[in-house]
Amino acid sequence: VSPTATARRSATAAYDELIHRVRDAHLLGSTGSLLHWDQEVMMPPGGVEHRSRQMSLLARLQHETLTADRIGELLAECEAGGLADDPMSPAAVNLRELRRTYDRRTRLPADLVAEEARLASVAQHHWVEARKESDFQRFRPDLTRVVDLLRRKAECLGWPADGEPWDALAEDFEPGCTARDVEAVFEPLRSRLRALLDQLRGGTPPDLAARRVRVPLERQREAVRAVAEQIGFDFTRGRLDTSAHPFCGGTHCNDVRLTTRFREDGFLDALSSTMHEAGHGMYEQGLLAEHVGTPMGDAVSLGIHESQSRMWENQVGRSLAFCEWLNARFGSIFGLKGPDAARRLFGAANRVEPDLIRVEADEATYNLHVMVRFDLERRLLRGDLDVADVPEAWNQGYRASLGVEVPDDARGCLQDVHWSGCMMGYFPTYTLGNLYAAQFYRQARRELGDLEGGYRTGRFQDLKAWLNQRIHAHGQRHRAADLCVAVTGEPLSADPLMEYLEGKLRPLYRV
Amino acid sequence: VSPTATARRSATAAYDELIHRVRDAHLLGSTGSLLHWDQEVMMPPGGVEHRSRQMSLLARLQHETLTADRIGELLAECEAGGLADDPMSPAAVNLRELRRTYDRRTRLPADLVAEEARLASVAQHHWVEARKESDFQRFRPDLTRVVDLLRRKAECLGWPADGEPWDALAEDFEPGCTARDVEAVFEPLRSRLRALLDQLRGGTPPDLAARRVRVPLERQREAVRAVAEQIGFDFTRGRLDTSAHPFCGGTHCNDVRLTTRFREDGFLDALSSTMHEAGHGMYEQGLLAEHVGTPMGDAVSLGIHESQSRMWENQVGRSLAFCEWLNARFGSIFGLKGPDAARRLFGAANRVEPDLIRVEADEATYNLHVMVRFDLERRLLRGDLDVADVPEAWNQGYRASLGVEVPDDARGCLQDVHWSGCMMGYFPTYTLGNLYAAQFYRQARRELGDLEGGYRTGRFQDLKAWLNQRIHAHGQRHRAADLCVAVTGEPLSADPLMEYLEGKLRPLYRV
């Protein structure tokens, strides 16, 4: 037996132990996810306090498992033994990503990790109060602490020589993506979006009546479940329930939990939110069971995850072909009569209107909301913007980008939960999701031909199978930017999204 | 500072660390409970495999936490420091019970613990198959292994000099209760029960029609929830859902999860099972939040737990007064007309009939089913009965005790899951529950007067408050037998249960 063969064998043993430990950490993490789902969907109010204790214990045990010295030793042994040599092999991918996250986790001092968890919980509580009173001053001391802590965190983690603190934090959400990368696609997107909005302002906005019909909640529940099933969400490996804020949770590719919410006069919203979460859910269900608990069985990034939800919500769910199927299948719900019923649904689902609230925005203006936040959090982290000046900067951003006047902080810089939860570097992933969705979808149409013809008859499996094969099954084999090239042959660009929006909205607005 | 004061202070620090560790173990255990509840009530079928991995990891971490050497050191330090001196103080109670369970856990070799978990899972799987085929021979090899393992386990744990192996195992379910203790109440109960059944055989059995009315499931769901709420189950600290087998689960006194099940023609069964589980649930909700995670915040034993469920199911739920309220409140459900409607409900709920299946038995004959099992498992563990002879011994027991012929193994010795799950020493807790329920209830009536008068108007809070104060709030302060004396002034006896059954059934059967 040669020395190399012995080293290789010992590296294989090290790899097995490493994966075993990482999978245990994932079992703890996925148990935490179930506790979270239960808290949002099932738990009686009395359970709150005990639940938070359960969740912190699991988070502590998971963190201890993943930052143990033994993980570092095992990683080093695997790397020395040549297991990372073939970069696209599952072992090499797992080692690459486990190395990355191990180094990041162990670079953070324990007291900073504890302080972040504590601050996130306190600040979120104060943010709720401040938003209720629409009073930024009540949240200002917490936001100051959040920015200070995140700047310290960024210092510990480090960033590229030509980068900035924001890059260090965004790495948790969109690995390998810097502010400069974001800017490179956001700048052209911003100017083309503004030009499109200027054009639409001169056109004829579609009628919203179909959006306001009242539908009994029980019928909505049945209908959105039927749609989720039809587009390919597998109910033998998942559920759909109701919660205050829709989300996609669960524990494993074979146990994915979607939620949505209902309002009597909001069936189209419930439908969009269900298709959105089902898109996330089909990504999770498309990951390979054999790799669960390792990077090869995990989603690439929040941006790629969002591309899956947005594609089903927007490219599919807001298409004329989908509205035609929807009207044929559930027309009685809308009570829309006449040959143009599907067209009126399509119009109501695609009205574009610059406004104040991100989570209520249409698919075009949504991206401008994100850009305002991206700009502010970069400046806060660089130290170029004082926390005290956030409301003014926010309001200026909305005036310049969306042309709207912000009347108060609740509908302004206090509307989002993210910063109070110590999350900066997160917002751009929403727009990256829109961009990836458009670019992937354009490629799917090139390869699969007339997808919309299928939608008209309720056929959605071709798109789903394509996504399963081209994106889901690879786990974290590719970084987001590389995946985009691997799938579409080109780096991410603003063109596909703008072509999609212009191609749909100009005819609809008759401009 | 005197040396004693120093020892005491260090004992207090040891106690705090001990409780902290025990509470962490309870957080893991209660997380396991939630995973179990979710599996039975919510989980999609695809989740099974991952769920079992999550649950074994949590069980392993909990076991490691509770058997760590450090626990032994801390216990010794607390005991030496005099914290256990005042036997009724919370600290002394916690130390007494933690010592007991620590010694038991550490007496078992790790390979036996692992083998028990493995065998329970395999044997249960084979038992399901064997029951389906009604073929004891298919289950016989597993039952042989179970008996061998449990005899080894009993050897490790030890039993009183005048006792037997069964005692060692029953300690997990009914601490401090030996086979001899059980026999002392079972013997008089058996002869009086047989005499009563002989008498009833000469009487007029009540009509069962009210039990077979068809009630739409949605109405049943609303009604049983309303009853659970009325008798005192707190829905701000609990839930009620549906599962294949009703149970009471949850994670904490402020998050208690009941389940029940429905059949269109089984409303009275759904109601009984809901009241039964609500009785368990009110015990859990009545434990004190400040003691959660320690023995002072835990239930005394399975027998005492069962006394709470049986009291609400039987003493309350099968009383004429309750039937009167039920008929006044939900009479439209039964469609029973006329002045004797409540009486007919009462009759239908109290029909007594020796039969084959334990879980379908009435409250009188139920205890004879238990006695057959108790007799068999004692003999198996002593080595006085061969596994091969179980079916014959079972069938003889049923002939002698219940006067019924067992037609096949599925309706005979294969009907219960317990033995396949490596649980022997469990069955008698059901009848102990019936006995404790009757004795506690007789005492409650002595102290509170005319409880039934309250039921007629839907008033149940007096009984609940009495149980909260006299039983629930004490956690494990008293052992079951001592609690019985503390609450009723007398040791457990067969008299209260027999007086209750005779007093109700003789007039009903007109004998």
Q: Which of A40, A116, A277, A363 is catalytic?
A: A277
pLDDT given at position B190:
97
Chain B residues close to A50, C-beta within 8 Å: 30, 251-252, 254-255, 292
Chain A residues close to B28, C-beta within 8 Å: 57
- Among partner residues A44, A239, A252, which is closest to B50 by beta-carbon distance? A252
* 3-state secondary structure at position B26: helix
B293: left (phi over 0), alpha (psi -120 to 50) or beta: left
Q: Provide the residue-wise pLDDT of chain A in tens; the chain has 511 residues.
A: 566 777 777 999 999 999 999 999 999 999 999 999 999 999 999 999 999 999 999 999 999 999 999 999 999 999 999 998 899 999 999 999 999 999 999 999 999 999 999 999 899 999 999 999 999 999 999 999 999 999 999 999 999 999 999 999 999 999 999 999 999 999 999 999 999 999 999 999 999 988 888 999 999 999 999 999 999 999 999 999 999 999 999 999 999 999 999 999 999 999 999 999 999 999 999 999 999 999 999 999 999 999 999 999 999 999 999 999 999 999 888 888 888 999 999 999 999 999 999 999 999 999 999 999 999 999 999 999 999 999 999 999 999 999 999 999 999 999 999 999 999 999 999 999 999 999 999 999 999 999 999 999 999 999 999 999 999 999 999 999 999 999 999 999 999 999 999 999 999 999 9
Percent of chain B with pLDDT over 90: 94
Q: Which of B277, B284, B313, B324 is catalytic?
A: B277
DSSP conformation letters of B249-306? EEEETTEEEEEE---TT-HHHHHHHHHHHHHHHHHHHHS-GGGTTSGGGS-S-HHHHH
Look at A236 and B46 and tell me if their CB atoms are within 8 Å: yes
- Interface with B, mutate which of A255, A259, A291, A294 (most B CBs under 10 A): A255
pLDDT given at position B4:
76
Percent of chain B with pLDDT over 70: 99
Q: Is the ipTM of this complex over 0.85?
A: yes
Helix/strand/coil percentages in chain B, nearest 5: 70, 5, 25
- Among partner residues B31, B47, B61, which is closest to A255 by beta-carbon distance? B47
DSSP conformation letters of B429-467? HHHHHHHHHHHHHHHHHHHH--HHHHHHTT--HHHHHHH
Look at A47 and B234 and tell me if their CB atoms are within 8 Å: no
Look at B50 and A292 and tell me if their CB atoms are within 8 Å: yes
CA distance readout (Å), B337 to A2, B282, B320, B328, B341: 92, 33, 17, 11, 6
Cβ-contact B343, B320 below 8 angstroms:
yes
- Phi–psi pair at A205, nearest 5 degrees: -70, 145
- Interface with B, mutate which of A30, A35, A54 (most B CBs under 10 A): A54
pLDDT given at position B306:
98
Cβ-contact A189, A207 below 8 angstroms:
no
Q: Measured between alpha carbons, how far is B133 from B128 in angstroms, rounded to an integer?
A: 9
- Among partner residues A42, A49, A238, which is closest to B44 by beta-carbon distance? A238
Q: What is the pTM of this model?
A: 0.94
Contacts of A502 (CB under 8 A, 6+ apart): A196
Q: How many helices (H) and strands (E) does chain B have?
A: 20, 3
Mean pLDDT of chain B: 96
Nearest residue of A to residue B241 by CA position?
A42
Q: Measured between alpha carbons, how far is A406 from A392 in angstroms, rounded to an integer?
A: 10
How many residues are recorded in chain B?
A: 511
Cβ-contact A157, A168 below 8 angstroms:
yes
Joined together, the tokens standing for residue B399 give 């002939």
DSSP conformation letters of A111-131? HHHHHHHHHHHHHHHHHHHHH
DSSP conformation letters of B348-368? HTT-----S-GGG--TTTHHH
Look at B30 and A239 and tell me if their CB atoms are within 8 Å: no
Look at B57 and A24 and tell me if their CB atoms are within 8 Å: yes
Instruction: Read off the pLDDT band of B332 (50, 70, 90).
Output: confident
Look at A34 and B30 and tell me if their CB atoms are within 8 Å: no
> Does B49 qualify as catalytic in the annotation?
no
In the DSSP assignment, the letter for residue B158 is -
- Among partner residues A47, A57, A239, which is closest to B251 by beta-carbon distance? A47
* 3-state secondary structure at position A43: coil
Q: What is the mean pLDDT of residues B332-341?
A: 86
